[in-house]
């Protein structure tokens, strides 16, 4: 099969979308480099470091969803977005609950398991 | 086709991931169901990874006197793996666009093969990493902590392996049947899997590697 | 030689045969237990052989292969799911009777060894949850839901076959464990460290792990299939808030399957890693932590409870409305209550381990969340009662189950609220009180729901009514048997008797235990009544045929087609304007009509993938249990090849021509015209051929 020629509008759209993927890639790159650089080259306080790593990771997840997975806030995307939000809710409940329960147990019975 | 003028880039979307748009109307209903179904499966899979992450955190203290993250992990290889996977996500995006706009098989296959090579390179470095860990005494039977590590990170690697096999199968399908509707749908779903695995890897490098090394 | 044998058979040896120990140890106990185990094993072998001989004798292999095993039709797959469920139900009931018999004579001993008793309660629980309840409700949703939403099939028919194959493989594995024993003795929850290799080196726990894992995978895939079907395949005009309540509960159950099954996959997967690859996730040494397993298991276990109970809620909603001759009361409220239950079910899992040692405030939080679930459930109970209020109630068999359910289920709910109080739970946890509670939820809830659904939809599926006399007998045996068997357990629990005890030394327990044993016998009678009901119904199928398709004056779309429905369900997809779509049609005098135009219909083509996955899945699991690595690798590769090969298949549909559709549909309409309509009061007579009188002449709406 040979390549389908593009009309002017399609060519424009194609350019826009390519640029969008490139933007996503660059943003993700920056959000990866920041935490790696912080851990490798600086000596900042642990808690600040962890928060920065966490924020960068979350931001990068959003970047991937927006630029690579095309999940946006547009009206006709609501179903996918709702599904993700529901999944996040379940994840927060299950993972949050797990950590809450297990670390409470450690505190009361197994102090050796506290990291 | 003047009515199509209202069709914007992000409008008219029927399913998660890249939509192929009006040029690929054949079997669009099936595609909508297939891609949506796969998306739901990804969400289910995400719960598995989420729970393994949570369990990993609860096992951080279970090193039982064995080697911990600081002794076992290497920043450099984690960084290389991250870069490989991130780049492969981008190249898969390029493949999807080649499919969407020109239906250019040469360009599509080129980007897919690049993606595959990046995926295989990622797996190579990951296995090398595990090998180094084993040499340092970081085997799963050594401690609860290491068991948790080896139940989380290799599962991601296993997913990448599966995605690579799927990619090969799709290339095979393309050789036999050409770029027909099922192949297109397959590529869209694989794209979702690939980007999803990159998202899981963000969690792994942030929480397991960077969290462990800091 | 020895090496060669062990590389082929792994650790499988002669001692796996159930009579092996009997040959070496001649004590009375060993012989009695050996005879029982051998009897059970021979029942499996004889049953399987009899089935094979029968099918061969009738020459039906080709028919079974092309019309059933490789059929992607959601209706046939649904029926096959239910057949698996019924076979497993029979086995698990017999096991229950043995356990009750043991405990009825268990004062200072009894006739079963602790090991044997352990296998009984483990298989009973595992089967009832994973191989009776799950396939049963999956089968019913599979059959009914696409008809209710006006679809021709599920979104992914071949995936549906794979789900069936995985469940069948899991069920077969549990059955094989009777012949090549033993099964696990770790209970259906399989808590480590008891189930770790160091305490349980045999094949038992591995049987449990892989049977459950197969079932879990099957349910996850099924959940995805159902949810996508309901989201994407509804007939034109069927908005979400026009869906029948059963479909609503099917949707919520599907969502729970999608998000509730993964925790179990993680739990059993990690336990398998511990046992096979020497991991230390849940071991007692080297930094392992068994509390993680308990947490993961119940993060699945509680949504699972609602996976089991939501479909019966939907079934009862349909049954109450149909047999009260009224529109369901508070449709929107019921939908919202269902959704609330589905979300809340993810917030309560800790109440299964209140006594594990966490702080009181955590227990309190989860206890409160647990009690909150009582609110939407209570809303439902009131809605059902208000549906019956001022209705023209017909006490049909499904309705008897429904009324039995509503009374017993509320009682069970009350004891649930008691157990949700952590301080009370400390007193009665791990006692028979708990056993009584969850049987009180699952028998009147789940099982009555399934039996009600079977009586309700059987005529739709097979074209003839189930005989009512034996149906009533079965229903009353179930209700009475349940009360006799489980109410004493509440008392025993409060008296302090622990669950899962093979024997006891308190004479006060005895009368209650004997009562419970009698109850178990009544339940056995109920099982027999069900079999007789089936037999009698098949015998009288011509007199009781309901080809016109609407024997109960139904309200929803599945009653609008012939019984049994054609493969493609609807000759043209219906347009929906309201809830109770078919009742609206009948009200307007628009039921049983020919469409203006017929079109070719594309249906999914047959595929052998489900059978292949069943066989390879079983082979893989069996190989893993007995350490036959060649089998594991071979079957694994075969599965991979089959799945990849399926991707290359392009002939995935088959066209049914418009003229054939027209012929079938007009033949049915002709039959409908010849059928004499009957009033609702005559629906249990042989005059009922599936056509009710128009609503205006019948009862009030």
Residues A52 and A78 in one domain: no
Average pLDDT over every residue of C401-425: 95
Kindly state the DSSP code that residue C655 receives in the 8-state scheme.
E
Among residues C319, C462, C468, which one has the least CA distance to residue C398?
C319
Q: How many domains does chain A have?
A: 2
> What integer pLDDT is reported at residue B28 of this predicted model?
78
Residues A12 and A64 in one domain: yes
Which member of B37, B61, B63 has the closest CB to residue C224? B37
C-alpha pair distances (Å), C375 with each of C333, C348, C416:
12, 14, 13
* pLDDT reading at C136 higher than 70: yes
> Quick check: is A111 in a domain?
yes
Q: Is C26 a catalytic residue?
A: no
Average pLDDT over every residue of C611-630: 97
Q: Is C380 a catalytic residue?
A: yes
**Alpha helices by DSSP H, C325-359:** 331-344
> What integer pLDDT is reported at residue A2 of this predicted model?
54
**Among B28, B39, B40, B64, which would you mutate to test the C interface (most chain C Cβ atoms within 10 Å of its Cβ)?**
B40
> Quick check: is A2 in a domain?
no
**Among C230, C251, C258, C259, which would you mutate to test the A interface (most chain A Cβ atoms within 10 Å of its Cβ)?**
C259
CB contact under 8 A, B58 and A21: no
> What integer pLDDT is reported at residue C694 of this predicted model?
80
pLDDT, tens digit (0-9, with 9 covering 90-100), for C8-50: 899 999 999 999 988 888 899 999 999 999 999 999 999 999 9
Q: Would you tell me the crossing angle of helices C245-277 and C134-148 to the nearest 10 degrees?
A: 140
CB contact under 8 A, A105 and C292: no
C-alpha pair distances (Å), C63 with each of C59, C60, C73, C79, C110:
8, 5, 15, 16, 48
Q: How many domains does chain B have?
A: 1
Nearest-CA residue of chain B relative to A57? Answer: B202
Model confidence band, residue C85 (pLDDT cutoffs 50, 70, 90): very high
> What integer pLDDT is reported at residue C701 of this predicted model?
42
CATH code of the domain containing B114: 1.20.120.80
Average pLDDT over every residue of C174-198: 94
State the ipTM, two decimals: 0.94
Rg (CA), chain C: 25
CB contact under 8 A, C262 and B45: yes
Residues A78 and A66 in one domain: no
- In chain C, pLDDT over 70 holds for what percent of residues? 99
Q: Is C681 a catalytic residue?
A: no
Nearest-CA residue of chain C relative to A86? Answer: C343
Is B90 in the A-facing interface, judged by CB distances under 8 Å? yes
**Among C156, C272, C281, C645, which would you mutate to test the B interface (most chain B Cβ atoms within 10 Å of its Cβ)?**
C281
3-state secondary structure of A42: coil
pLDDT, tens digit (0-9, with 9 covering 90-100), for C355-374: 999 999 999 999 999 999 99
Cis ω on the peptide bond leading into residue C692 (within 30° of 0)?
Answer: no
Residues A66 and A80 in one domain: no
Residues from chain A that touch C263, judged by Cβ atoms under 8 A, are 94
HSE-CB of C222 using CA atoms within 13 angstroms: 36
Which member of A65, A87, A103 has the closest CB to residue B46? A87
pLDDT, tens digit (0-9, with 9 covering 90-100), for C458-471: 999 999 999 999 99
Characterise C463 by phi-psi region: left (phi > 0), alpha (psi -120 to 50), beta (else).
left
Q: Is C586 a catalytic residue?
A: no
Q: Which two tokens stand for residue C135?
A: 């396939």
Q: Is C153 a catalytic residue?
A: yes
Residues from chain A that touch B86, judged by Cβ atoms under 8 A, are 25, 28-29, 32
Rg (CA), chain B: 20
- Beta-carbon contacts of B53 under 8 Å, excluding residues fewer than 6 positions away, are A95, B152, B203, B207
Chains B & C: contacts with CB separation below 8 Å: 120
Q: Do residues C261 and C326 lie in contact, with contact meaning Cβ atoms separated by under 8 Å?
A: no
Q: Do residues C137 and C305 lie in contact, with contact meaning Cβ atoms separated by under 8 Å?
A: no
pLDDT, tens digit (0-9, with 9 covering 90-100), for C247-288: 999 999 999 999 999 999 999 999 999 999 999 999 998 999
Q: Do residues B194 and B115 lie in contact, with contact meaning Cβ atoms separated by under 8 Å?
A: yes
Residues A63 and A14 in one domain: yes
Which member of C343, C349, C357 has the closest CB to residue A108? C357
Is B162 in the A-facing interface, judged by CB distances under 8 Å? no
Which parts of chain A have pLDDT scores under 70? Answer: 1-3, 75-78
**Structural domain harbouring B134:** 65-214
Among residues C461, C532, C520, which one has the least CA distance to residue C485?
C520
> What integer pLDDT is reported at residue C590 of this predicted model?
83
> What integer pLDDT is reported at residue B1 of this predicted model?
31
Average pLDDT over every residue of C51-60: 96
> What integer pLDDT is reported at residue B8 of this predicted model?
43
Backbone phi, psi, residue C655, to 5°: -100, 135
Torsional sign, CA B98, B99, B102, B103: positive
> Quick check: is B14 in a domain?
no
> What integer pLDDT is reported at residue B198 of this predicted model?
96
Residues A31 and A63 in one domain: yes
C-alpha pair distances (Å), A1 with each of B180, B184, B190, C376, C547:
11, 14, 22, 58, 53
Please list the pLDDT of chain B residue by residue as tens digits (214 residues): 333 333 444 456 778 888 887 777 777 788 889 999 999 999 999 999 999 999 999 999 999 999 999 999 999 999 999 999 999 999 999 999 999 987 888 999 999 999 999 999 999 999 999 999 999 999 999 999 999 999 999 999 999 999 999 999 999 999 999 999 999 999 999 999 999 999 999 999 999 999 999 8
Residues A54 and A32 in one domain: yes
Residues A62 and A78 in one domain: no
C-alpha pair distances (Å), B92 with each of A17, A68, C118:
13, 9, 53
The β-bridge partners of C601 are C656
Question: Would you kindly state where each structural domain of chain C is located, as residue ranges?
Answer: 395-500+508-545, 551-607+652-701, 608-642
| Smallest Cα distance from C579 to chain B, Å | 25
Q: What whole-number distance in Å separates Cα of residue C586 and Cα of residue A10?
A: 52
> What integer pLDDT is reported at residue A75 of this predicted model?
64
E strand map for C643-701: 653-656
> What integer pLDDT is reported at residue B12 of this predicted model?
61
3-state secondary structure of B197: helix
| Smallest Cα distance from A47 to chain C, Å | 26
* pLDDT reading at C212 higher than 50: yes
Residues A86 and A65 in one domain: no
Q: Is C188 a catalytic residue?
A: yes
**Structural domain harbouring A62:** 8-70
> What integer pLDDT is reported at residue B5 of this predicted model?
35
> Quick check: is B132 in a domain?
yes
The H helix count followed by the E strand count for chain A is: 3, 0
Residues from chain B that touch A71, judged by Cβ atoms under 8 A, are 16
pLDDT, tens digit (0-9, with 9 covering 90-100), for C462-506: 999 999 999 999 999 999 999 999 999 999 999 999 999 999 999
Residues A12 and A30 in one domain: yes
Residues A23 and A60 in one domain: yes
Q: Is C233 a catalytic residue?
A: no
Residues A20 and A60 in one domain: yes
> What integer pLDDT is reported at residue B50 of this predicted model?
97
Q: Is C124 a catalytic residue?
A: yes
Average pLDDT over every residue of C80-89: 97
């Amino acid at each position: 099969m040979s390549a389908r020629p593009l009309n002017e509008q399609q060519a424009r759209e194609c350019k826009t979308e390519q640029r969008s993927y490139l933007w996503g890639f660059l943003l993700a790159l920056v959000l990866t480099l920041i935490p790696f650089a912080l851990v490798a080259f600086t000596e900042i306080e642990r808690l600040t470091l962890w928060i920065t790593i966490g924020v960068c990771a979350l931001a990068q997840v959003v970047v991937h969803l927006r630029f690579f997975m095309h999940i946006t806030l547009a009206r006709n995307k609501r179903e996918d977005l709702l599904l993700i939000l529901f999944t996040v809710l379940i994840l927060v409940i299950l993972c949050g609950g797990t950590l809450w329960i297990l670390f409470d147990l450690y505190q009361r019975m197994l102090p050796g398991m506290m990291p | 086709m003047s009515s199509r003028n209202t069709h914007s880039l992000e409008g008219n979307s029927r399913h998660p991931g890249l939509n192929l748009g009006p040029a690929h109307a054949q079997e669009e209903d099936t595609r909508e169901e297939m891609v949506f179904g796969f998306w739901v499966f990804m969400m289910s899979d995400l719960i598995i990874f989420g729970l393994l992450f949570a369990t990993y955190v609860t096992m951080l203290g279970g090193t039982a006197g064995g080697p911990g993250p600081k002794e076992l992990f290497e920043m450099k290889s984690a960084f290389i793996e991250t870069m490989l996977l991130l780049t492969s996500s981008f190249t898969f995006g390029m493949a999807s666009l080649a499919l969407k706009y020109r239906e250019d098989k040469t360009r599509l296959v080129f980007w897919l093969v690049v993606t595959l090579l990046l995926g295989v390179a990622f797996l190579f470095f990951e296995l090398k990493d595990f090998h180094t860990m084993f040499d340092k005494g970081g085997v799963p039977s050594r401690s609860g902590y290491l068991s948790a590590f080896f139940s989380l990170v290799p599962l991601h690697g296993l997913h990448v392996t599966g995605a690579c096999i799927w990619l090969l199968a799709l290339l095979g399908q393309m050789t036999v049947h050409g770029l027909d509707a099922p192949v297109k749908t397959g590529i869209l779903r694989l794209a979702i899997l690939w980007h999803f695995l990159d998202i899981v890897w963000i969690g792994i490098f942030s929480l397991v590697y960077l969290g462990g090394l800091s | 030689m020895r090496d060669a044998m062990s590389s082929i058979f792994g650790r499988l040896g002669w001692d796996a045969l159930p009579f092996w120990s009997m040959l070496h140890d001649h004590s009375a106990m060993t012989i009695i237990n050996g005879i029982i185990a051998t009897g059970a094993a021979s029942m499996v072998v004889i049953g399987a052989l009899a089935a094979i001989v029968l099918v061969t004798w009738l020459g039906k292999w080709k028919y079974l292969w092309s019309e059933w095993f490789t059929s992607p039709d959601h209706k046939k797959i649904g029926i096959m799911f239910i057949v698996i469920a019924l076979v497993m139900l029979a086995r698990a009931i017999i096991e229950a009777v043995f356990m009750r018999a043991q405990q009825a004579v268990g004062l200072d001993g009894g006739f079963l060894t602790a090991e044997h008793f352990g296998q009984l309660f483990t298989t009973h629980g595992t089967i009832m949850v994973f191989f009776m309840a799950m396939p049963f409700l999956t089968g019913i949703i599979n059959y009914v839901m696409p008809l209710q939403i006006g679809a021709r099939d599920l979104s992914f028919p071949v995936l549906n076959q794979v789900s069936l194959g995985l469940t069948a493989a899991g069920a077969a594995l549990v059955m094989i464990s009777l012949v090549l024993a033993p099964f696990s003795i770790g209970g259906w929850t399989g808590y480590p460290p008891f189930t770790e290799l160091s305490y349980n080196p045999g094949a038992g726990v591995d049987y449990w792990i892989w049977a459950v894992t197969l079932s879990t995978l099957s349910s996850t895939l099924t959940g995805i299939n159902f949810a996508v079907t309901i989201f994407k395949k509804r007939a034109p005009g069927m908005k979400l808030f026009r869906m029948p309540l059963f479909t609503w509960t099917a949707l919520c159950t599907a969502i729970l399957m999608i998000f509730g099954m993964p925790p179990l996959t993680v739990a059993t997967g990690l336990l398998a890693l511990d046992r096979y690859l020497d991991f230390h996730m849940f071991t007692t040494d080297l930094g392992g932590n068994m509390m993680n397993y308990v947490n993961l298991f119940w993060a699945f276990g509680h949504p699972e409870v609602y996976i089991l109970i939501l479909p019966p809620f939907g079934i009862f909603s349909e049954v109450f409305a149909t047999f009260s001759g009224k529109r369901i009361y508070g449709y929107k409220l019921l939908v919202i209550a269902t959704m609330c239950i589905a979300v809340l079910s993810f917030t309560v899992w800790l109440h299964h381990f209140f006594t594990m040692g966490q702080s009181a405030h955590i227990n309190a939080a989860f206890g409160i969340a647990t009690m909150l679930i009582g609110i939407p459930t209570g809303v439902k109970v009131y809605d059902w009662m208000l549906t019956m209020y001022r209705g023209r109630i017909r006490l049909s068999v499904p309705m008897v189950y429904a009324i039995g359910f509503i009374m017993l289920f509320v009682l069970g709910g009350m004891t649930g609220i008691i157990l949700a109080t952590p301080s009370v739970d400390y007193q009665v946890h791990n006692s028979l009180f708990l056993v009584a509670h969850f049987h009180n939820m699952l028998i009147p809830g789940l099982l009555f729901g399934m039996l009600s659904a079977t009586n309700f939809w059987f005529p739709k599926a097979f074209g003839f009514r189930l005989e009512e006399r034996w149906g009533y007998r079965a229903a009353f045996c179930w209700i009475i048997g349940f009360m006799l068997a489980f109410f004493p357990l509440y008392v025993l629990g409060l008296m302090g008797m622990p669950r899962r005890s093979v024997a006891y030394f308190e004479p006060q327990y005895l009368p209650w235990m004997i009562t419970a044993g009698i109850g178990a016998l009544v339940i056995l009678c109920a099982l027999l009544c069900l079999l007789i009901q089936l037999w009698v119904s098949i015998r009288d199928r011509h007199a009781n045929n309901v080809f016109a398709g609407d024997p109960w004056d139904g309200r929803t779309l599945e009653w609008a087609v012939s019984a049994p429905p054609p493969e493609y369900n609807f000759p043209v997809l219906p347009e929906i304007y309201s809830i109770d779509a078919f009742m609206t049609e009948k009200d307007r005098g628009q039921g049983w009509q020919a469409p203006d135009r017929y079109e070719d219909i594309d249906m999914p083509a047959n595929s052998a993938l489900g059978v292949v996955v069943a066989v390879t899945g079983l082979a893989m699991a069996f190989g893993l249990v007995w350490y036959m690595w060649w089998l594991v690798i071979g079957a694994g590769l075969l599965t991979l090849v089959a799945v990849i090969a399926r991707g290359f298949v392009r002939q995935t549909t088959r066209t049914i021509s418009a003229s054939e559709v027209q012929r079938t549909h007009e033949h049915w309409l002709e039959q409908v015209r010849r059928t004499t309509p009957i009033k609702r009061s005559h629906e249990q007579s042989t005059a009922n051929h599936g056509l009710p009188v128009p609503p205006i002449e019948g009862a009030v709406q």
